[in-house]
């Protein structure tokens, strides 16, 4: 038994594993090919942000995009987890933002460089409160939405994911051992766009959870 409470997973310093291009409509809006295998990248724990503190646009970017995503919080670790038992490793969920310095990412892509500067900067992973798994009986069919200053920008459904949550847990755990407190970001639907200083981002999962973040600059 651990004395820590997974409902405050962002304080644990564990891994943030992100899946990219998991929605065909988003891959297409950025002129990316629709993948046949998951595209993975990482954020560091200093990317975590909870409500009440602002998202900070880094000095080196002029185009930071919002990406609303369903996050899966791991409750029981494992390596080479079978798809059939993958959901037993889930403690719950969180609504997450994969804030992305798109101009930097485009530059990295053109030079064949890794995406760390674009994806892993401090405050690049705002998260909602923890949602126990019982509150989302079918995580493969929930609506995730995001408004900027009251205007709907992203309004997708996790049923549009190319790779399901059990598949992702199994696939990732073959490569990277999953631990209690890790977070998997499952990709974003279409509608990503640049945010500006003083913007207000308001997002939700069906009627399960909502969260609000303001945007600032370093």
Ligand X SMILES: CC(=O)CC(=O)C(=O)O
Distance CA 47, CA 30 (A): 24
Return the number of the residue (4 or 109) whose C-beta is nearest ligand X.
Answer: 109
Return the number of the residue (142 or 180) whose C-beta is nearest Mg ion.
Answer: 142
**Do 123 and 54 touch, CB atoms closer than 8 A?**
yes
**Do 39 and 119 touch, CB atoms closer than 8 A?**
no
* Residue in 10, 12, 17, 21 binding ligand X, rule: CB under 6 A: 21
* Residue in 30, 157, 194, 209 binding ligand X, rule: CB under 6 A: 30
Return the number of the residue (78 or 192) whose C-beta is nearest Mg ion.
Answer: 192
Quickly tell me which residue has 């994806």 as its tokens.
119
Asked if 66 touches ligand X (CB under 6 A), the answer is no
Asked if 22 touches Mg ion (CB under 5 A), the answer is no
Q: How far is CA 70 from CA 73, 96, 108, 146, in A?
A: 10, 6, 25, 12
Asked if 187 touches ligand X (CB under 6 A), the answer is yes
Measured in whole angstroms, how far is the alpha carbon of residue 63 from the centre of its chain?
18
Within 8 A by CB and 6+ apart from 137, the residues are none
Nearest residue by C-beta to Mg ion? Answer: 98
Asked if 154 touches ligand X (CB under 6 A), the answer is no
* Residue in 22, 23, 67, 172 binding Mg ion, rule: CB under 5 A: 67
Asked if 180 touches Mg ion (CB under 5 A), the answer is no
Return the number of the residue (38 or 204) whose C-beta is nearest ligand X.
Answer: 38
Of 187, 192, 191, 189, nearest to 20 (Cα)?
187
Which positions touch ligand X (CB under 6 A)? 18, 20-22, 26, 30, 32, 67, 98, 100, 187-188
């Amino acid at each position: 038994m651990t004395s820590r409470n997974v409902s405050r997973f962002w304080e644990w310093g564990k891994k943030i594993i992100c899946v990219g291009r998991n929605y065909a409509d988003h891959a297409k809006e950025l002129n990316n090919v629709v993948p046949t295998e998951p595209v993975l990248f990482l954020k560091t724990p200093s990317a975590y942000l909870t409500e009440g503190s602002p998202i900070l646009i880094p000095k080196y970017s002029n185009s930071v995009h919002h990406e609303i995503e369903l996050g899966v919080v791991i409750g029981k670790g494992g390596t080479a987890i079978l798809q059939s038992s993958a959901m037993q490793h889930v403690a719950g969920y969180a609504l997450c933002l994969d804030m992305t310095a798109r101009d930097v990412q485009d530059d990295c892509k053109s030079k064949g460089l890794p995406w760390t500067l674009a994806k892993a900067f401090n405050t690049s992973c705002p998260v909602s409160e923890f949602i126990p798994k019982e509150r989302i009986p079918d995580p493969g069919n929930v609506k995730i939405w995001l408004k900027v200053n009251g205007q709907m920008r992203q309004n997708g459904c996790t049923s549009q994911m190319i790779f399901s949550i059990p598949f992702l847990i199994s696939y990732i755990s073959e490569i990277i051992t999953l631990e209690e407190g890790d977070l998997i970001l499952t990709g974003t639907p279409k509608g990503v766009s640049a945010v500006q200083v003083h913007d207000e981002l308001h997002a939700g999962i069906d009627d399960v959870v909502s969260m609000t973040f303001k945007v600032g600059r370093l």
